[in-house]
Structure 1
């Protein structure tokens, strides 16, 4: 049975995904609710899951219908354009950040510094984590420093310190050996992307020994989204965005592919 979303006032906003100003659509659209993963709080691994913009329309759209149970209420602190990156890039980064299992005051490495990584950096720094960024491009490096990163270097440079955990956002398998080598004993490396180029051969002694952990992230749960939006509002996370009108969507994608982006790109499909 389909149900309509009810609002307490006409100004209530709900989030429904990624970098668009209205409505905001989350990536995870539906899960079955009955499989072993759904029943154990891991609905992100549901084999029957449906995703916005992949399995169902609603990516480049001004309006969309969504299942009520999969819509997020957007905190009042965010306008539609700044809320947009939170609902895909932000939530995925948050899940990867949780997977990193950092100790209080720990050291975190971030490989790549786009829409997801810069939000993760803001969150981590606000919680007292020491963040070290590995990325190409002066704009991305300057943004990392402006947000409070302890150090910034090229993607393949060695870390200036041993790291408790690292997250790879760049879809580059060649970064994995260096990231593993930069971890302290028991360190964790989390791969946050949906795609990664082939990982080169690893040395057990240099990359895996000392109880290091290599893991990945697949999508997110609704609980991840609710937690992250609450934290983002409380910690006053400010997404760095570049807006494009819908008729410049091709340019936004080209700029993204060339790395000519600071933070996240947002498509404005309507005014307001």
Structure 2
């Protein structure tokens, strides 16, 4: 496998979205595809684990329009550095790194200069704009990876790189006060990590989700209550995060907020929101916010916090050869916790 700067780095076996379709119809196709050239600040990774995110599902099913034809999904990549470009001297062969959703920004727009690079109009994303981790190898930008500790299993670290980081940013956007009351709507990969983060900070957490198995997991992790998605929590909420991509839950979550509370919508895709009556849902200074990707500072802060308070990551492993099955299981709510692809 050649790896000189500007030359191709060989080929890899990968899953790509052939034609968007319901996950049950298996829209992924396995191919042998060329890897990208190794640039001056590029890293060639051997993929050791890749989380299966709901955003991958949105791409496979056509909820998000494809940006790059034949692009392997996957943006929760744990890998080992095989080769580094000549200007990536801060990395060496064998280093353990993580590649996440944010793959690149312009670095010069007013958002980047203000520390809000997640809003950069020229931002690029792993598994959408650049090839992702549903593959044996990946070429990534050294400026957008995270150094990962030795010790934890690859499959436990992979979900931290999107489910965890996005949950961290959503929690920041939700303005949860110290010791506050937090509601989590939906309890999949991101929510089960965010719940543990909030609990470690001293919050009371109420989970509202349609899955009985997910409700049991929430209580096992320390949630104060776990009820159905349309139910009311046992007390008014200071903050809430909507992880389920269901617009009908926006008024449900807003109605559960106390005066001055904030609802953060964490997904990149959401079905239509019903008409909101202002006095019923937004009056008394209730706030509705979206969450858009994350900054690298978010990622570093979250990984530092998990080093101090390691979360329990509930993983369901799938061999890379069974990626379509993992995606179909996620679509059918057959995954409690997080699905992770690992080498066969």
Report the TM range for the smaller structure's normalisation. over 0.9
Per the normalisation by structure 1, the TM-score is 0.92
Contact 2:134 2:323 in 1 (8 A): no
Q: Which residue number in structure 2 is paired with residue 182 of structure 1?
A: 256
Gaps of 5+ in 1: 17-25
Equivalent residue for 1:13, pick from 96, 115, 126: 96
Q: How does 1:1-272 map to 2 (within 5 A)?
A: 2-3=40-41, 4=85, 5-6=88-89, 12-16=95-99, 26-270=100-344
Secondary structure class of the residue paired with 2:262: strand
Once the two structures are superposed, residues 49-108 of structure 1 have per-residue CA deviations (whole angstroms, 9 ceiling, x without a partner) of: 111110111231222121111110113353211110000111111100111111110000
Q: Counterparts of 2:92 and 2:105 in 1: how far apart (Å)?
A: 29
Contact 1:114 1:263 in 2 (8 A): yes
Gaps of 5+ in 2: 1-38, 42-84
Between the two proteins, the alignment pairs up a number of residues equal to: 261
Per the normalisation by structure 2, the TM-score is 0.73
Distance 1:151 1:252, change over 3 A: same
Question: How well do the aligned residues superpose, as a CA RMSD in angstroms?
Answer: 1.4
Once the two structures are superposed, residues 119-150 of structure 1 have per-residue CA deviations (whole angstroms, 9 ceiling, x without a partner) of: 00011111111000000111111110100000
Once the two structures are superposed, residues 127-185 of structure 1 have per-residue CA deviations (whole angstroms, 9 ceiling, x without a partner) of: 11100000011111111010000000000001210000000000000101110011011
Q: Counterparts of 1:77 and 1:148 in 2: how far apart (Å)?
A: 25
Q: Counterparts of 2:130 and 2:289 in 1: how far apart (Å)?
A: 28
Contact 1:113 1:133 in 2 (8 A): yes
Q: Counterparts of 1:14 and 1:186 in 2: how far apart (Å)?
A: 40
Contact 2:237 2:261 in 1 (8 A): yes
Cα offset for 1:11?
5.2
Larger radius of gyration: 2
